[in-house]
């Protein structure tokens, strides 16, 4: 069995991963409306990845004999002023998620829940990757500035992201 506080935090994180999927879908919809189909594709793949993260929490909560409690998912932002702004938001969102993972990790250490501590290690590594890949795009967009042609090249490139 699992500690109540940890059960609650794992459920909150499950909700945050679903919200992440929602946020990235909203970003995908924004890109579709701007005819930037490559960026939209990248965000759709990202949204699917977030669903798999949510499912890892879902399965782990059940495996530990705890209860999955699905809560209301917040409404994500729906419009941005530029591609750069979207990816900057995505990057900032990932750093927030990383901090939440660290908080749950701290809690599981304090509560001597070694199983949860070990479960969360995968997410610590995953967040390094998630932050790095969004930051790389933010930095590229910073260099692109207002060149629409170069933006279309990046759009084409990101459209090739594999699932
Ligand atoms: Fe995630
Ligand atoms: Fe993520």
Is residue 124, in this structure, part of any structural domain at all? yes
**Residue-wise pLDDT tens digits, 122-163:** 999 999 999 999 999 999 999 998 899 999 999 999 999 998
Ligand nearest to the CA of 52: 1
Distance 10 CA to ligand 1 centre (A): 13
Query: For residues 141 and 143, what is the distance between their CA atoms, to the nearest angstrom?
Result: 5
Within a domain: residue 101? yes
* 83-116 confidence digits (pLDDT tens): 999 999 999 999 999 999 999 999 999 999 999 9
Give the model's confidence band at 120: pLDDT under 50 very low, under 70 low, under 90 confident, else very high.
very high
Counting ligands in written order, the one closest to the CA of 95 is 2
With respect to residue 88, please indicate whether it lies within any of the assigned structural domains: yes
Q: How far is the CA of 88 from the centre of ligand 2 (A)?
A: 13
pLDDT for the residue 145: 82
The Å distance, Cα 17 to ligand 1 centre, comes to 5
Q: The CATH number of the domain where 55 resides is what?
A: 1.20.1260.10
How much of the chain, in percent, has pLDDT values that exceed 70?
A: 100
Is pLDDT of 15 > 90? yes
Asked, for residue 123, whether it belongs to a domain, the answer is: yes
Neighbours of 27 (CB within 10 A): 27
Residue 111 included in any domain: yes
**With 80 as the cut, is the pLDDT of residue 1 above it?**
no
- Residue 163 exposed, middle or buried by CB count within 10 Å (0-12, 13-18, 19+): exposed
- Residue 142, domain member (yes or no): yes
The reported pLDDT for the residue numbered 96 is 98
Number of domains in the chain: 1
pTM given for the model: 0.96
Domain range for residue 34? 4-158
Q: State which residues have CB under 5 angstroms from ligand 1, the bound ion.
A: 17, 50, 53
User: 163 lies in a domain?
Assistant: no
- Per-residue pLDDT of 37-69, as tens digits, reads 999 999 999 999 999 999 999 999 999 999 999
The number of the ligand nearest the C-alpha atom of 13 reads 1
Is 128 within a domain? yes
Residues above pLDDT 90, as percent of the chain? 97
* Ligand with minimal distance to 130 CA: 2
């Amino acid at each position: 069995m699992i500690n109540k506080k940890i059960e609650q935090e794992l459920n909150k994180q499950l909700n945050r991963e679903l919200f992440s999927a929602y946020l990235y879908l909203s970003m995908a919809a924004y890109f579709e409306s701007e005819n930037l189909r490559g960026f939209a594709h990248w965000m759709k793949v990202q949204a699917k990845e977030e669903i798999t993260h949510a499912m890892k929490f879902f399965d782990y909560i059940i495996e530990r004999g705890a209860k999955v409690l699905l809560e209301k998912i917040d409404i994500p932002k729906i419009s941005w002023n530029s591609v750069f702004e979207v990816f900057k938001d995505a990057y900032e969102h990932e750093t927030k998620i990383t901090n939440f993972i660290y908080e749950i990790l701290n809690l599981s250490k304090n509560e001597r829940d070694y199983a949860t501590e070990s479960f969360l290690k995968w997410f610590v590594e995953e967040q390094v990757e998630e932050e790095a890949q969004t930051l790389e795009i933010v930095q590229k967009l910073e260099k692109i500035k207002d060149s629409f042609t170069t933006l279309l090249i990046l759009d084409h490139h990101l459209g090739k992201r594999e699932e």
